[in-house]
Amino acid sequence: MKTVIINGQSHHGSTYHIAHMLGTKIGGELTELFLPKDLGEFCVGCTRCFLEGEDKCPHYSKVSQITKYIDEADVIILASPVYVYHVTGAMKAMLDHYGYRWMAHRPEKAMFKKQGVCIATASGAGVGSANKDMADSLFNWGVGKIYKLGMPVAAANWDQVSDKKKRSLENSTDRIAQSIKRSCGKVTPPLKTKAMFMLMRMMQKNGWNEHDKEYWEKNGWLGNGRPWK
């Protein structure tokens, strides 16, 4: 099993330790990426990825490296501390580069059989909204099974996190890791994901973006083909 962790910041704080803990428990091959080191550019809204292809993105050389790890992974872990009730700017900037992969455009077929985890920490509130930021992208990428782990650690760094909270995190990561390992190779997306895919399929039949429509036709999705089969 291959796991990729994309950290929303570069220092090894509480969020990093929780994500690394989970990745280690899942086992297999683990790759850890750090933002903004591995991708610091902001999406400029040029729409070239939508209209011409993702390789036309001005940041393609860096984005394609992250895409390679995402595509090769069985499990995608997105980890971000809470910044003003949401993910870090670096995490948001990375996710913005993958708008072309949403089901409204050109989702990657393999995503529908992958598992994803959203991990957020905060000194106080905001883990729910930060996890939603990341889960929205995983869902719209088509990721077949999504987990969320949020913890208000009430600390500025990992050493200050209480033993009680660390025990709780050990238990939570144990449960998620076990579920991921049980589900590996058996993932089928839920009804909500399938319904969204079918809605997008209806839109693609109208050909509102010819580049997208060509992609859907090539995959056979405008006929009887489905990415989870």
In a domain, 198, yes or no: no
CATH number of the domain encompassing residue 86: 3.40.50.360
Domain membership of residue 100 as a residue range: 2-187
In a domain, 202, yes or no: no
In a domain, 38, yes or no: yes
The alpha carbons of the chain give a radius of gyration, in whole angstroms, of: 18
Residue among 35, 174, 19 nearest 97 (CA): 35
Residue among 205, 33, 74 nearest 216 (CA): 205
In a domain, 110, yes or no: yes
Q: Based on the structure, what is the number of domains in the chain?
A: 1
In a domain, 207, yes or no: no
Helix (H) or strand (E) holding 32: strand 29-34
8-state DSSP, 173 = H
Name the percent of the chain lying above pLDDT 70.
100
pLDDT for position 206: 86
Determine the average pLDDT of the residues in 142-168: 95
What gap in Å lies between CA 82 and CA 159, rounded to an integer?
Answer: 18
In a domain, 204, yes or no: no
pLDDT band with cut points at 50, 70 and 90 for residue 29: very high
In a domain, 217, yes or no: no
In a domain, 28, yes or no: yes
Determine the average pLDDT of the residues in 52-62: 96
What gap in Å lies between CA 115 and CA 73, rounded to an integer?
Answer: 9
pLDDT in tens, 100-130: 999 999 999 999 999 999 999 999 999 999 9
